[in-house]
Amino acid sequence: MIKVFQWGLGAMGGGMARLVRERPGLVLVGAFDRRVEFQGRDLGEVAAFGGRCGVCVCSDPLAELQKCKPDVTLLATGSYVKDVYADLKCILNAGSNCITIAEEMAYAWQSHPQEAHDLDALAHRRGITLLGTGVNPGFVLDALVVMLSGVCGRVDSIFASRVNDLSPFGPTVMRTQGVGATPEAFAAGLENGTIVGHIGFRQSMDMMAAALGWMLDDIQEERQPIISRTQRIAPHVRVEPGQVAGCRHMARGLCSGKVVIELEHPQQVCPEAENMATGDMIRIQGDPSIEMHIHPEIPGGKATVNLAVNMIPAVAAARPGLLSMLELPIPRMTQG
């Protein structure tokens, strides 16, 4: 049995806890969320298992990690290295392998070299593995592209697009995408950094460039509001006509002045409300050129939960260090 600790019990963390509980070979041994109203309660009640499970949501994660000694901790709390760095160090110091879905941890070597080296060194000292993953970054617009390039003799350029439904995500994602904002508040949010669109283009670009042996000399990003013409109601947000339903975010990676990677990610809640078809598309120009379409899009919430849990056995068995999806075995659904 692989012992699992769930750190963060929001939309993603709650789903991970439910899936871990169902998987033979995995056992939940502890959980933490900074929300005081969760602490001291049975995890089964907090994460909607449909009954109690005998695991209490703790208020002191370090003490709890030291007590229950998990093999793998799933961290589903925030997006940025600055927000998860201290918690990652606590998890690694407690001797637990860790899988985080923080977007900036999917490939932090170029964007946060100091933190990446510190975490890598700590993981090596403790003989444990730290993996950043998730549907995107971590899979659709990077690892999957890299895998497709494996049948190419030459890659000249990459274009990949993900048109997705943000509805299943929690309040953190709604806020950072500007969902429900007025166009004016969206513009102000972009200006003051509270609205950021998709987090992780930089990490996806860096991961693909590293895999393909490209040196990117510039990454350019552009964000536009997607204004709703209809009312849209998602579990964590309500959007009125004229308000922002999401963010059209684009990024270009340049090599010697030439665009070699182009990523496009219009994300919104309830795209079906305006007959918008969702899907993932990857086009590699090279020898041979490859074009792959997935319709509808791989569902982000479910995919992130499933991928994080599916990576548990691989992470438990991996070599020590800070790893990315490039270094682990091909992801797979692992039943037991």
Residue ranges binding ligand NAD (CB under 6 A):
7-13, 32-35, 76-79, 87, 101, 103, 106, 134-138, 169-173, 304
Strands 237-239 and 232-234: antiparallel
In whole angstroms, give the CA distance from residue 27 to residue 236.
29
Q: How far is the CB of 196 from ligand NAD (least distance, A)?
A: 10
Rounded CA-CA distance 38/119 in Å is 29
Q: Which of 327, 289, 325 has its CA nearest to residue 308?
A: 325
Q: In whole angstroms, what is the distance from residue 88 CA to residue 129 CA?
A: 11
> For residues 190 and 254, which CB has a smaller minimum distance to ligand NAD in the complex?
190
User: Quick one: 1 exposed, middle or buried, by C-beta within 10 A (0-12, 13-18, 19+)?
Assistant: exposed
List beta partners, residue 291. 283
Residue pair 81/104 in contact by the 8 Å Cβ criterion: yes
**Sign of CA pseudo-dihedral 169, 247, 158, 107:** negative
CA angle 59, 64, 70 (to 5 degrees): 135
- The residue (of 184 and 327) whose beta carbon lies closer to ligand NAD is 327
Nearer Cβ to ligand NAD (12/26): 12
Closest CB to ligand NAD among residues 86, 215: 86
Instruction: Provide the minimum distance between the beta carbon of 229 and ligand NAD in the complex, in angstroms, as a whole number.
Output: 26
Nearest to 97 by CA among 60, 78, 115, 124: 124
Residue with smaller CB distance to ligand NAD, 33 or 71: 33
Q: Nearest approach, Cβ of 280 to ligand NAD (angstroms)?
A: 13
Specify the residue, 79 or 310, whose C-beta has the smaller distance to ligand NAD. Answer: 79
* Complex with ligand NAD: residue 101 or 148, whichever CB lies closer: 101
Q: Which is nearer to ligand NAD, 101 or 219 (CB)?
A: 101
In the complex, least distance from residue 55 CB atom to ligand NAD, rounded to whole angstroms = 16
User: Which of 236, 298, 268, 306 shows the shortest CA–CA distance to 10?
Assistant: 236
User: How many of the other CB atoms lie within 10 Å of CB of 51?
Assistant: 8
- Least separation in angstroms between CB 7 and ligand NAD: 6
Largest CA distance in the chain: 58
Minimal distance in Å, beta carbon 4 to ligand NAD?
A: 16
CB 4, CB 18: distance < 8 Å: no
| Look-up of token digits 């309660």 | 41
| Minimal distance, residue 275 CB to ligand NAD, in Å | 25
Q: Of 1 and 36, which CB lies nearer to ligand NAD in the complex structure?
A: 36
CB neighbours of residue 254 within 10 Å: 15
Contacts of 86 (CB under 8 A, 6+ apart): none
Smallest distance, Å, CB 9 to ligand NAD? 5
In the bound complex, what is the minimum distance in angstroms from residue 89's beta carbon to ligand NAD?
12
